[in-house]
Amino acid sequence: MKKRMQSLQYQWFLLPILTVYSIFTVYPLLKSFVLSMTDFNGISKQYNFVGLANYGRLFRDQTIISGVSFTLSYAIATTLIITLLAIPLALILDNKFFTRNLHRAIFFFPSIPSGLLLAYVWGFILSPISSGVLNKILKSTFGLSTQPWLSDPMLAKISVIMVAVWAAVGWHAILYLAFLQGISKDYYEAAAIDGATRLKQIRHITLPLLAPAMTVSVMLLLTGGLKVFEIPFALTKGGPGFETYTITQVIVMRGVNEGQYGLASAMAIVFFLIVLALTYFQVTVMQKREERIQ
């Protein structure tokens, strides 16, 4: 009895988190499921059960198809490019050189402020008008004509992805760097005695030992990439047309702005499933990879 009382005294501590989490996360999730199968419009209190009709409509809505396709390409492209740049960057920043700390700070800093703010600044650099810095530089050094960085469908996608890479690559380099610093120097000394070149050491010691860091970094990049909103929103507002539209933007516009709650909720649920499936798949595959190479 006394033991039981004591146990209950502990359980009170769970009350605050269970309350806020259930009301502000779990309940809305379940409600999304329900709404996705209705024709609720946010205004009339009456609504009908429509089964999976909203899910079918997702595939016929050109804006939504655009949004999903750009979001997926963005998530995959940023993950690949950032990973390919962050690892060599981390290897370099792990060396001793005079401006090392300065460089670490320079690469790291862009990941600290809001993406919205920084993307607006990039809007200035990529602007087609006379103050557009990039066009100005390209014109004066290479004699190139004005490029529509943000209004050509392909260039707009590339620009959005490049700005995202600039903003996040340092953060991920710092993550890899932290793991690099945990690698014992003994491995390298032993390899050097065996006559392994620096390149071979990186290939056979460093990269395998970075596998756990890679699993985490890629997971953060993929999930963060799927949730992308601010950078394309600030750079292109989703344009030209709907070329750089994102899933988040679809949910906000179709749901909150247009009151198509059923359709937007169906999008939200599909999004949830995409995030779930990709995260599960990626983590499983990469953890297997960790086991294999270590």
Tell me the helices (H) and strands (E) count for the chain, helix number first: 16, 0
C-alpha dihedral over 62, 63, 66, 70, to 10 degrees?
-170
d(CA 83, CA 175): 11
CB-based burial, 259-276: b 16+ in 10 Å, e otherwise: ebbbbbbbbbbbbeebbe
Contact 223, 215 (CB under 8 A): no
Q: Which is nearer to another protein, 103 or 204 (CB)?
A: 103
Q: Which is nearer to another protein, 27 or 281 (CB)?
A: 27
Q: Least distance in Å: CB of 243 to another protein?
A: 20
d(CA 35, CA 27): 12
In DSSP terms, which residues pair with 38 in a beta bridge? 49
Q: Least distance in Å: CB of 118 to another protein?
A: 7
Structure tokens at 167: 């903003």
Q: Least distance in Å: CB of 220 to another protein?
A: 8
- The distance from CA 54 to its chain's CA centroid, rounded to whole angstroms, is 27
Contact 266, 254 (CB under 8 A): no
Q: Least distance in Å: CB of 68 to another protein?
A: 13
Structure tokens at 242: 């709907």
d(CA 294, CA 291): 5
Q: Which is nearer to another protein, 112 or 190 (CB)?
A: 112
Cis peptide before 28 (omega within 30 of 0): no
Q: Which is nearer to another protein, 42 or 240 (CB)?
A: 42
d(CA 58, CA 55): 5
d(CA 150, CA 153): 8
Q: Least distance in Å: CB of 94 to another protein?
A: 11
Q: Least distance in Å: CB of 268 to another protein?
A: 4
Q: Least distance in Å: CB of 106 to another protein?
A: 5
Q: Least distance in Å: CB of 214 to another protein?
A: 11
Q: Which is nearer to another protein, 242 or 271 (CB)?
A: 271
Output helix, strand, coil percentages for the chain, rounded to the nearest 5: 75, 0, 25
